[in-house]
Amino acid sequence: MDIGNQIKQHRAAMNLSQEELSKRVYVSRQTISNWETDRTYPDIHSLLLLSTVFDVTIDDLVKGDIDTMKEKSRNVKKLKRLTWAMTIFVVLGILLVGPSMNLWGIIGIVPPMTLCAIGAIASVVIERLKRQNNIQTYSEIVSFIEGTPLDEGRNALEKKHLALTRFLLALAAAAIAAIFGIVSLTVFS
């Protein structure tokens, strides 16, 4: 990604320190440092402020990066599919508790618990990856550059998706707790 170099070059050309630039775009000095070292990527609002401060277009700031951003924004769909697959692991694990225990007795608890645990852990990891890789930011920038409207309903959909994921994780945790309760009652009865 080239945005870090662009920010650093424009900042140097204007004889601004990272601290001075951070005050102009309302972020911390560490944020400027993270942008310049490509650890993080500015969101669309910060890009607008940077383009104003540097008196350049957003296209000039992100030139060379747009293809990478498009690729990363495509990963949102992949991650969402993977999240749903992991959710299916949780639901399947919950549904298999009874039949599995009937078939194998107390040992039958292990496969459903394993499925639930895999689903719960994977869902959390996927959500963290989405945040760490600025995927939402990339999608917004690509939409802005291409002149397509930002999906106004996206935030609501993401909140619903996150709420569903949290609900399913809570359901999986409750199921695992119930399974442990059943096992302990069975073992100690």
Q: Is the pLDDT of residue 153 over 60?
A: no
Rounded Cα gap, residues 94 and 140, in angstroms: 37
2 band by pLDDT with thresholds 50, 70 and 90:
confident
| pLDDT given for residue 106 in this prediction | 84
| pLDDT given for residue 166 in this prediction | 77
Identify whether the C-beta of residue 87 lies closer than 8 Å to the C-beta of residue 119: yes
Overall CATH class of domain 3-62:
mainly alpha
The alpha carbon of residue 154 and the mean position of all alpha carbons in its chain are separated, in whole angstroms, by: 14
Rounded Cα gap, residues 75 and 86, in angstroms: 16
pTM comes to 0.45
Which tens digits make up the pLDDT trace of 172-189? 777 777 777 777 666 665
Q: Give me the chain's average pLDDT, please.
A: 77
User: What is Dmax (Cα atoms) for the chain?
Assistant: 77
Which stretches of the chain are DSSP H helices? Answer: 3-13, 18-24, 29-36, 44-54, 58-62, 66-95, 97-104, 110-132, 135-146, 154-188
Domain ranges of the chain: 3-62, 66-188
